[in-house]
Amino acid sequence: MTAATAEADLTILVIDGDPDRAAVVERGLVEAGWLRVSVIGPSVNLLQRVQALGPDVIIIDLENPDRDTLEQMFQVSRAVRRPIAMFVDQSDSAMIRGAVEAGVSAYVVDGLRQERIKPIVDMAISRFNTFDRLIRERDEAQARLADRKLIERAKGLLMKNRGLAEEEAYTLMRRTAMKQNRKLSDIAQSVITAFEMEF
Amino acid sequence: MSETVKLGVVPLIDCAIPVVAHEMGFAAEEGLALDLVREASWAAVRDKLAFGLLDAAHLLAPLSLAMTAGLGGTPAVPVVAPMALGLGGNGITVSTALFERMKEAAPEVMAGPRGQSARALGKVIEADRAAGRPRLSFASVFPFSSHTYELRLWLADAGIDPDRDVNLGIIAPARMAESLHMGWIDGYCVGEPWNLRAVQRGVGVVVAAKADIWPNAPEKVLGVREDWAAERPDTTAALVRALVRAAQWADAAENRPALAAILADMRYVGVSPKILEPALSGRPVLRPDAPAEALDRHIFYRWQATYPWPSRAIWLLDRMVEAGQAALSAADATALARRVFRDDLYAAAVESLGVPVPEADVTVIGTHDAPRDVPARGGGTVTIGPDLQLGRRTFYPFGRDAASEAT
């Protein structure tokens, strides 16, 4: 997915309410050879910024409330450079579906050939998906870390208050979890709650 | 085992019908589980509905027509509206600064009927033009929305050319008050609670309510893809029944305080019940420090507010042609209106509820200043609301050629 030299002159604007995701998309595009990439965040005077930048392609997150504003701008635009939604050219409906599912929408200057836009939209889709996966993994890692802390704390409470060895405390919780068909961290939470209520 | 229907809603008072269907158990009683998804923009609703990320949506009535015809730079995705989600409920708000200028320019106009308040705006525009100041900017919520057509009607009635005398833009509903506050726009047309929110914040004044421009006008519909409805006739009918029962519940005056509390939830409108309740009860304060008005309370069910009247779709298509958004012959408009506004699906779905349906699916619009009874299918009558428009415009939805014969 490298931009041919001839394509590198396209001006791309990334609009995203999430600055972290915008940065991920921007980096992906720049690393692939599109050098003229700008990023704008939420709550700016969108129309003026877009008009000043005059992008060939706009990548904007599907959920962005500014899309309604952006679309109207295109509809009333009397300028030669008239951007349109990428949905107009349905020659690659798989790409469009992929974009909508990934939460990407794109607007392009009318007349720009589909094959010039496709790699840009593909890159944005892949970056959105990667970003989603990273966020999910981070959340899961945080949840696992939180679970481990709970289990450690419950183990400590059982050792201190019931005189169990570390291994015994762990086995007791593990067995209870299996018997009740619950997660080990839930049992740990119950243990903590029980001791906290006692004191 | 209940069937899940993923339904997109935009934070506005008229998202109440699907929300009530879910919260008050009407959907469950029809064997449906509604998965309500709050959407920030109409473009997102359109795209997700088109590509199957949503099964159904709280949709701008004109957008259901535009999607089916492929207007506005998107491919044609046939959508059907097996019911309407209430009538009216919009307002036009201007910034406090513009309101002061309008009062100063034409105090007699501002003391008169609210529907004619744009005449004062006309004086302000004249003064701006003479002084070489830039044009004022107004926003609607989407190109294909009754808001756009109401704003245009309000301006045009005062001799203001909506395309040349002002800038017309688009801003998502929940961003209106903030944009007015930031000075990006001078006024807007939006559904509640986003007019009253501006009054409450002290940044705007409501200069016209929907009822001042065209009472009981079409507003939102339940939108589903045509193929989705064809593949799931039972689900579609169950969904219509659940939503009609929800509309009946929401329409009752005694349920309005409870409804305000439900809608205040962040998953739905996310605005204080203190703002929602006056909007729902028709007792809003439109100008800061003024007494509450006595408007009709928001119409969810009464006056056939859930019946997808094909003549109203034809009227909307006529507005699209007038605004330069579409080029349609009268015959094409009628065919498109009937393809989208499926009153046959509505009538079949609500039969078991004993809900009456008007006999004539096409009527003249704009000639009635009081509620009236019209014949119902299978005998009896139904009552429909007044529809006198600003400027006394009458619309004959039988095609422009037939208009002269009908008069």
The pLDDT of residue A82 is above 70: no
Which chain A residue shows the shortest CA-CA distance from B143? A72
- Tell me the pLDDT of chain A averaged across its residues: 82
Q: Name the segment(s) of chain A with CATH classification 3.40.190.80.
A: 5-137
How far apart are the C-alpha atoms of B164 and B156, rounded to whole Å? 11
CB pair distance less than 8 Å for B143 and A75: yes
The alpha carbon dihedral of A59, A63, A66, A69 has a sign of: positive
**Confidence at residue A7, expressed as pLDDT on a 0 to 100 scale:** 62
Indicate which CATH number applies to the domain containing B53: 3.40.190.10
> What ipTM does the predicted assembly reach?
0.74
Instruction: Answer whether residue B15 is part of any domain.
Output: yes
Residue B50: domain span: 3-87+217-267+300-357
How far apart are the C-alpha atoms of B205 and B187, rounded to whole Å? 9
Question: Is B129 in the same domain as B17?
Answer: no
Task: Judge residue A143's burial from the number of C-beta atoms within 10 Å of its C-beta, 0-12 exposed, 13-18 middle, 19 or more buried.
Answer: exposed
Q: Is the separation of the CB atoms in A8 and A37 below 8 Å?
A: no
Question: Is B146 in the same domain as B121?
Answer: yes
Question: Is B185 in the same domain as B230?
Answer: no
Instruction: Answer whether residue B125 is part of any domain.
Output: yes
Question: Is B43 in the same domain as B189?
Answer: no
Distance between A15 CA and the closest CA of chain B, angstroms: 15
Q: Which residues of B touch A75 (CB under 8 A)?
A: 72-73, 143
Residue type present at position B112: G
The pLDDT of residue B405 is above 50: no
Q: Is the separation of the CB atoms in B58 and B83 below 8 Å?
A: no
CB pair distance less than 8 Å for B51 and A64: no
Question: Is B77 in the same domain as B99?
Answer: no
Question: C-alpha angle B182/B184/B188, rounded to 5°?
Answer: 105
CB-based contact (8 Å) between A47 and chain B? yes
Instruction: Answer whether residue B382 is part of any domain.
Output: no
When mean pLDDT is compared across A88-102, B121-135, B175-189, the lowest value belongs to A88-102
CB pair distance less than 8 Å for A96 and B74: no
Tens-digit pLDDT profile for residues A8-30: 688 899 999 888 899 999 999 99
Domain total for chain B? 2
CB pair distance less than 8 Å for B72 and A84: no
A5-137: CATH topology is D-Maltodextrin-Binding Protein; domain 2 (3.40.190)
CB-based contact (8 Å) between B48 and chain A? yes
CB-based contact (8 Å) between A141 and chain B? no
Instruction: Answer whether residue B59 is part of any domain.
Output: yes
Question: Is B201 in the same domain as B240?
Answer: no
Question: Is B166 in the same domain as B188?
Answer: yes
Which chain B residue shows the shortest CA-CA distance from A98? B51
Question: Is B107 in the same domain as B39?
Answer: no
**Confidence at residue B366, expressed as pLDDT on a 0 to 100 scale:** 87
CA-based nearest residue to B302, from B216, B223, B224: B216
CB pair distance less than 8 Å for A105 and B169: no
Question: Is B113 in the same domain as B257?
Answer: no
**Confidence at residue B401, expressed as pLDDT on a 0 to 100 scale:** 44
Question: Is B198 in the same domain as B324?
Answer: no
A142-198: CATH topology is Arc Repressor Mutant, subunit A (1.10.10)
Which chain A residue shows the shortest CA-CA distance from B48? A100
Question: Is B224 in the same domain as B255?
Answer: yes
Round the CA-based radius of gyration of chain A to a whole number and report it: 26
Question: C-alpha angle B327/B328/B334, rounded to 5°?
Answer: 155
Instruction: Answer whether residue B308 is part of any domain.
Output: yes
Instruction: Answer whether residue B191 is part of any domain.
Output: yes
How far apart are the C-alpha atoms of A183 and A170, rounded to whole Å? 13
**pLDDT-derived band at B224, boundaries 50, 70, 90:** very high
How far apart are the C-alpha atoms of B49 and B356, rounded to whole Å? 30
The pLDDT of residue B79 is above 90: yes
How far apart are the C-alpha atoms of A100 and A128, rounded to whole Å? 11
How far apart are the C-alpha atoms of A114 and A89, rounded to whole Å? 8
- Best of A58, A63, A72 to substitute, by most chain B Cβ atoms within 10 angstroms, is A72
Instruction: Answer whether residue B401 is part of any domain.
Output: no
- Identify the DSSP state of A39: E
Distance between B52 CA and the closest CA of chain A, angstroms: 9
Nearest to B51 among A47, A65, A97 (CB): A97
**Token pair recorded at residue A101:** 């599912």
Which chain A residue shows the shortest CA-CA distance from B76? A88
Size of interface A-B (CB pairs under 8 A): 75
- CA distances (Å), origin B74, targets A80, B71, B236: 19, 6, 25
Task: Judge residue B321's burial from the number of C-beta atoms within 10 Å of its C-beta, 0-12 exposed, 13-18 middle, 19 or more buried.
Answer: middle
Distance between B178 CA and the closest CA of chain A, angstroms: 10
Which chain A residue shows the shortest CA-CA distance from B144? A72
Q: Which residues pair with B95 in a beta bridge?
A: B204
Share of chain B above pLDDT 90, in %: 79
**Token pair recorded at residue B79:** 């959508």
How far apart are the C-alpha atoms of B390 and B108, rounded to whole Å? 18
Q: Name the segment(s) of chain A with CATH classification 1.10.10.10.
A: 142-198
Q: Which residues of A touch B169 (CB under 8 A)?
A: 47, 69, 72-73
Tens-digit pLDDT profile for residues B32-41: 999 999 998 9
The 3-state secondary structure of B9-70 reads: ECCCHHHHHHHHHHHCCHHHHCCEEEEEEECCCHHHHHHHHHCCCCCEEEEEHHHHHHHHHC
Neighbouring CB atoms inside 10 A of B400's CB total 14
How far apart are the C-alpha atoms of B152 and B158, rounded to whole Å? 10
Question: Is B243 in the same domain as B171?
Answer: no
Instruction: Answer whether residue B165 is part of any domain.
Output: yes
Nearest to A68 among B73, B75, B171 (CB): B171
